[in-house]
């Protein structure tokens, strides 16, 4: 057995590997420009937004491009955070010197939307920035609630959709900006960032050149040197995927896998009602190192995520269903994982090795929503 359940890089189809391995094509070549045109059309059709810039880079770059755009919007914003990637949006906003407030919820919990609306009524944000599917915890922040919040306040809505696009059906009509990457739900190789937008863009003189979405629009998506190999792989994966079939499969298999894990007394961080499709984060018992469990699974031929800082700090493992899925491995995974945890628990402490440091995820009162003002960086209850 040789199966990967990483959040990235994901397992890709043989056809995608072949497309990536084809000879490189110059980014000014008509064949490359046609591949870019077709790829952008498939991307915009996937989420129902009219424009997308495909940039060489990661999701971090994509979110920096959104942050650059927000510098051109008058007024302050509101950022929602209930995990690592919500915290990273806060960091993006600080680095762009944006004015904003924060609605926080403890990691693993969905938001109390009435509280968030009350907070937003006081803040009166010009923009709202949130993570749609929080990769760190496997929690979904529902698009219906985020869109309702945007409409209620009149704020434009911006989304980190990196772990959502390609894993669930999305209609992003009315969203100002949304970000995605090639190497997660779109099941190609990492290295391309997608910034979707509605066409309302910042003036070029206010945005760094490489992050200037207006420049991409004016150059048919190719203002700078690009990678034909990465683009060909993404175009191939998009063209081959039956999206309705994939969305149903990911939803069903995620639900079944969470149920099987619970039957084995393994605890997903996200409650079932808050669970995102395609991402399952597991809290490993404190007396066992998640790294040791991951190592034991690797000996079985199964790779799971455990090395990211936020996972190490909390002794968590992650299982992702983003790329091609090994049916045998997904069926065996719950039993193998639970068996390794039980065996490691029974070993003498000296054999288990020292546990990795644990850091409390969030000290917010029982997961209640708080308000942080960027200028003062003080906390108070809404």
Task: Give per-residue pLDDT as tens, 317-344.
Answer: 999 999 998 999 999 999 999 999 999 9
Q: pLDDT, tens digit, for every residue of 2-28?
A: 999 999 999 999 999 999 999 999 999
Q: Are 72 and 121 in contact (CB under 8 A)?
A: no
Q: pLDDT, tens digit, for every residue of 297-318?
A: 999 999 999 999 999 999 999 9
Whole-number Å distance between alpha carbons of 284 and 336: 14
Q: Are 128 and 156 in contact (CB under 8 A)?
A: yes
The whole-number pLDDT of residue 307 equals 95
The whole-number pLDDT of residue 373 equals 37
The whole-number pLDDT of residue 229 equals 98
Q: pLDDT, tens digit, for every residue of 340-356?
A: 999 999 876 545 444 33
Greater confidence (325 vs 239) lies with 239
Per-residue b or e along 60-88, where b marks 16 or more CB atoms closer than 10 Å to that residue's CB = bbbbbbbbbbbeebeebbbbbbbbbbbbb
The whole-number pLDDT of residue 365 equals 34
Q: pLDDT, tens digit, for every residue of 24-71?
A: 999 999 999 999 999 999 999 999 999 999 999 999 999 999 999 999
The whole-number pLDDT of residue 372 equals 40
User: 156-165, 204-213, 270-279, 349-358 — which is least confidently predicted?
Assistant: 349-358
Q: What percent of the chain has pLDDT over 90?
A: 88
Confidence of residue 206 (pLDDT cuts 50, 70, 90): confident
The whole-number pLDDT of residue 218 equals 92
Whole-number Å distance between alpha carbons of 87 and 202: 24
Q: pLDDT, tens digit, for every residue of 180-198?
A: 999 999 999 999 999 999 9
Q: pLDDT, tens digit, for every residue of 135-152?
A: 999 999 999 999 999 999
Q: pLDDT, tens digit, for every residue of 99-144?
A: 999 999 999 999 999 999 999 999 999 999 999 999 999 999 999 9
Q: Average pLDDT of 72-87?
A: 97
The whole-number pLDDT of residue 353 equals 46
Domains of the chain: 12-241+365-380 (3.40.640.10), 243-352 (3.90.1150.10)
Could you tell me the two tokens for 351?
């054999």
Angle at 22 between CA 239 and CA 323, to 5 degrees: 45
Question: At residue 363, does pLDDT exceed 60?
Answer: no
Confidence of residue 282 (pLDDT cuts 50, 70, 90): very high
Mean pLDDT of the chain: 91
Q: Are 66 and 129 in contact (CB under 8 A)?
A: yes
The whole-number pLDDT of residue 349 equals 55
The whole-number pLDDT of residue 47 equals 98
Q: Are 311 and 269 in contact (CB under 8 A)?
A: no
The whole-number pLDDT of residue 335 equals 97
Confidence of residue 285 (pLDDT cuts 50, 70, 90): very high
Whole-number Å distance between alpha carbons of 131 and 139: 10
């Amino acid at each position: 057995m040789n199966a990967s359940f990483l959040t990235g890089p994901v397992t890709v189809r043989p056809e995608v590997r072949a497309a990536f391995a084809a000879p490189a094509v110059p980014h000014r070549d008509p064949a490359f420009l046609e591949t870019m045109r077709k790829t952008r059309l498939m991307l915009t059709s996937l989420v129902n937004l009219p424009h997308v810039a495909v940039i060489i880079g990661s999701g971090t770059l994509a979110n920096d491009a959104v942050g650059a755009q927000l510098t051109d919007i008058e007024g302050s914003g509101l950022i929602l955070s209930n995990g690592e990637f919500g915290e990273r949006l806060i960091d993006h906003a600080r680095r762009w010197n944006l004015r904003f407030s924060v609605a926080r919820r403890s990691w693993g919990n969905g938001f109390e939307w009435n509280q968030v609306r009350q907070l937003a009524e006081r803040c009166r944000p010009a923009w709202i920035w949130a993570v749609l599917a929080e990769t760190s915890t496997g929690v979904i922040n529902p698009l219906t609630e985020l869109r309702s919040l945007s409409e209620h306040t009149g704020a434009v809505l911006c989304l980190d959709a990196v772990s959502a696009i390609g894993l669930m059906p999305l209609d992003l009509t009315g969203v100002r900006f949304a970000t995605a990457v090639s190497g997660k739900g779109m099941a190609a190789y990492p290295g391309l960032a997608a910034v979707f937008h509605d066409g309302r863009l910042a003036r070029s003189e206010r945005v760094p050149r490489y992050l200037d979405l207006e420049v991409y629009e004016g150059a048919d998506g190719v203002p700078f040197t690009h990678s034909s190999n990465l683009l060909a792989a993404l175009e191939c994966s998009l063209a081959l995927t039956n999206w309705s079939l994939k969305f149903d499969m990911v939803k069903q298999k995620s639900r079944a896998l969470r149920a099987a894990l619970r039957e084995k007394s393994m605890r997903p961080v996200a409650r079932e009602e808050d669970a995102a499709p395609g991402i399952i984060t597991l809290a490993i018992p404190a007396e066992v190192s998640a790294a040791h469990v991951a190592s034991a699974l690797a000996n079985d031929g199964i790779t799971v995520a455990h090395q990211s800082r936020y996972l190490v700090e909390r002794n968590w493992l992650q299982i992702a269903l983003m790329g091609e899925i090994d049916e045998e491995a997904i069926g065996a995974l719950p039993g193998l994982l639970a068996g390794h945890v039980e065996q490691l628990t029974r070993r003498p402490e000296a054999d288990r090795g020292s546990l990795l440091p644990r850091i409390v995820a969030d000290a917010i009162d029982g997961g209640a929503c708080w308000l942080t003002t960027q200028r003062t960086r003080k906390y108070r209850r809404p």
